[in-house]
Amino acid sequence: MKIFTSIFLLTIFFTASSQSFELLNNGKDTINLIDATGKKQGKWVVLGKHKPGDCYKSEQKIEEGAYKVNRKVGQWLEYYCNNNTKSQLTFINGRPDGYAIMFYENGNKKEEGDWKNNKWVGNYKLYYENGQVQHDFKFNQGGKREGLQTYNYDNGQVAVQGNFANGKESGQIKEFYETGDLKATKNFANGDVDVASIKTFQPKKELPKTNDAVAFAPSKAEVEIKKEELASASTSTAKAAPTTLNGKHVLYNKNKQVSKDGVFKESRLMEGKSYIYNENGLLKRVAVYKNGVYVGDGQVEN
């Protein structure tokens, strides 16, 4: 089936033999086909007129891709109201599987990598909205960080860099000031730091007014994602979640994905992990908590 942009679509719907579809202006190719069994098939283009009430205009694209027996397949594109691409995902049998890239509304990349078996594998990058790389990670086939990992400041300068082995810090980890001067070195073995090895250094250049706490604070978008995840985390491993959570629990979001796993006290996560997903259901962050305080990001453990 040939792919045409929305300006060539006829707005007339046809019904024949219990099948509904839109006809392209060539008079033979169709889109948005629902077959006789009620399943979506072939090329689909969702326009503003199909989802009234949003910021999209009637003939403006919201998303496009293909269905096979009611399940998304191949490449799907989603758009912002300003027509910039929002995401480009690869689907297999209705689930994201393959190369994925998300964008900010200004058109800059937001994150990209390969998504396999519900986790990132291979090279992965998360970007600041200004276009600078924030995280430059490498994941093994099990979805755990492996090899050289890099965190950057929003000015492009390296903030933290070091090696991971099977998801845990391994060897020397270096921390840097925003000026590029060395800030600290720490030696790790299997994720545990050798306290005696820690060395700190004073900056040689004058530091900007911002500090590390500000630079690594969760973004507004991440805070919103966390709020949504908390709102949907309503089921524990028990038959029903108690009014107040105490002890070990596993919570799930509305998509039946793990949202929190750890030890709770008065419904507050004290020790464990909070799994934060983006709107496409892809894992965005794994926030690690100790003594009820967020201490950094980890990754999914098998």
Select from 282, 259, 255, 283 the least CA-distant residue to 269: 259
Query: What pTM does this model have?
Result: 0.63
Quote the pLDDT of residue 268: 84
Quote the pLDDT of residue 221: 40
Quote the pLDDT of residue 10: 30
Quote the pLDDT of residue 164: 95
Q: From CA 259, how far away is CA 267, in angstroms rounded?
A: 14
CA atoms within 13 Å, Cβ hemisphere of 215: 21
Quote the pLDDT of residue 24: 58
Quote the pLDDT of residue 290: 78
Quote the pLDDT of residue 263: 86
Q: From CA 136, how far away is CA 138, in angstroms rounded?
A: 7
CA atoms within 13 Å, Cβ hemisphere of 68: 9
With a cut of 70, which residues of the chain have pLDDT below it? 1-19, 23-29, 209-243, 295, 299-302
Sheet holding 258-265, edge to edge: 247-252, 258-265, 268-277, 283-290, 293-297
Quote the pLDDT of residue 27: 61
Quote the pLDDT of residue 207: 82
Q: From CA 122, how far away is CA 138, in angstroms rounded?
A: 5
Q: Which residues contact 211 (CB under 8 A, 6 or more apart)?
A: none
